[in-house]
Structure 1
Amino acid sequence: MRLYELSEQYEILEQMLYDGETDEQTIRDTMEAIFGEFEDKAESYAIIITDMKADIETLKAEESRLNARRTSLENRQKALKTTLMENMKAIGKTKIKTPLFTISVAKNGGQEPLVIDGAIDDIPGRFLIPQPPKVNGDAVRALLSERQVDWAHLEPRGEHLGIR
């Protein structure tokens, strides 16, 4: 029987308990059949959920390992490029042609890098981008713990399934 079918059987059992017309032996037999099978199904669900949790943790660890390896390779690549460029500049060579590659030192394109040296208060307003205000959630929660307001409220906490 599927889990949702067991849930339907549970509702039928509940109705049998409340109507008072079903004899106690039938109720006991029905309870044993439903609860035993339901618990078996729930246990199977729990096994699958715990297996998935273990797989998720393994994948997270692998993601972290691969991310660390990628970062290491990126840093090595950057260091090699910097070393090659500095040495080419040191000997005055801006272009090297080989059978496989053409290597050159070139100026970066695009706009020139911008550095703001002064304080933000010293910059005229026309050069500033207005930002929409953001709600400070911690401050609003603190206020709601003291009193109610018309513009905010706290929702009840949700539920979760615990499997140990």
Structure 2
Amino acid sequence: MSTLYEITGDYLRLLEMLEEEESIDPQAFKDTLEGIEGEFEIKADGYARVLKELKAEALKFKAEIERMTAKMNAITNNSARLRQHLYDSMKATGKTKFKTDLFSFNIQRNGGTQPMEVDELCVTRAYMKMVPDNAKIRKALEDGKELKFAVLKERGEHLSIK
């Protein structure tokens, strides 16, 4: 059996022959076309079966990822809870710095940039960033307005197998 690539090439060559040659036997053309179309449909069925299997396989992996993510989150939360309990206990007892045979414990201030809180409603214009209004730009382009800084791109297409 031919590959999909070969079948596509045969089909295109047949159409090319129809356009270029004036004296093609109509019955021979019809028979050849039916043969190619039948092979194409059989090959498409095979592709659809493989695609269905691959999709099912991907869904199995997705479910396993979700299961493992839930497990990871549970372990992370337990770790954070234990750390917080140890921190709270050290603060409550005043024992904020000590060593054991295995570890050193110390409660210290955080480094890095100092945290801040901003009331966005009160920020003056000098401290604001301007960003494009994509909804307004899209509406203008859809209404036929030409903008030097934006264009609507073509929508893609996809294969649907039901």
Query: Would you call these one fold, judging by a TM-score over 0.5?
Result: yes
Code of the aligned partner of 2:161: I
> Structure 2 matches for 1:90-109, cutoff 5 A?
90-109=92-111
Residue 52 of structure 1, CA deviation: 2.0
Instruction: Give SS of 1:103's match.
Output: strand
CA distance in 1, matches of 2:89, 2:55: 51
Deviations 1:9-37 (A, max 9, x none): 10122134343422233223312321121
SS in 2 for 1:99: coil
Aligned equivalent of 1:154: 152
Distance of aligned partners of 1:153 and 1:107 in 2 relative to their CA distance in 1, 3 Å threshold = closer
Q: 1:145/1:46 Cα in 2 relative to 1: closer, same or farther (>3 Å)?
A: same
> Does the C-alpha gap of structure 1 residues 109 and 62 become closer, same or farther in structure 2, counting only changes over 3 Å?
same
- Map of 2:142 onto structure 1: 145
Query: Aligned with 1:10: secondary structure?
Result: helix
CA distance in 2 between counterparts of 1:86 and 1:120 reads: 36
8 Å CA contact 1:9, 1:34 repeated in 2: yes
Number of residues paired by the alignment? Answer: 158
| Alpha-carbon distance between aligned partners in 2 of 1:84 and 1:109, rounded to the nearest angstrom | 21
Structure 2 vs 1, CA of residues 117 and 14 (structure 1 numbering), >3 Å: closer, same or farther?
A: closer
Q: How many angstroms apart in 2 are the aligned matches of 1:68 and 1:142?
A: 42
1:150 positional shift: 4.0
Residue 16 of structure 1 contacts residue 27 of structure 1 at CA under 8 Å; is this kept in 2?
A: no
Q: 1:68 aligns with which of 67, 70, 90?
A: 70
1:36 and 1:94 map into 2 onto residues whose CA distance is 79
> Take 2:39 and 2:119, find their aligned partners in 1: how far apart are those partners?
72
1:55 Cα deviation after fit? 2.4
Q: Determine the C-alpha separation between the residues in 2 that align with 1:96 and 1:141.
A: 62
Q: Distance in 2 between matches of 1:140 and 1:59?
A: 40
Unmatched runs of 5 consecutive residues or more in structure 2: none
Report the alpha carbon displacement of residue 116 of structure 1 after superposing the two structures with TM: 4.2
Q: Alignment partner of 2:131: what SS? A: coil
**More moved, 112-121 vs 76-85:** 112-121
Q: Write the distance in 2 (CA, Å) between the matches of 1:26 and 1:147.
A: 51
Call closer, same or farther: CA 1:110–1:148 in 2, change over 3 Å.
closer
The 1:109/1:138 distance shift into structure 2, 3 A limit, reads closer
User: Can you give the 5+ residue segments of structure 1 that lack an aligned partner in the other structure?
Assistant: none
Q: Which amino acid in 2 is paired with 1:2?
A: T
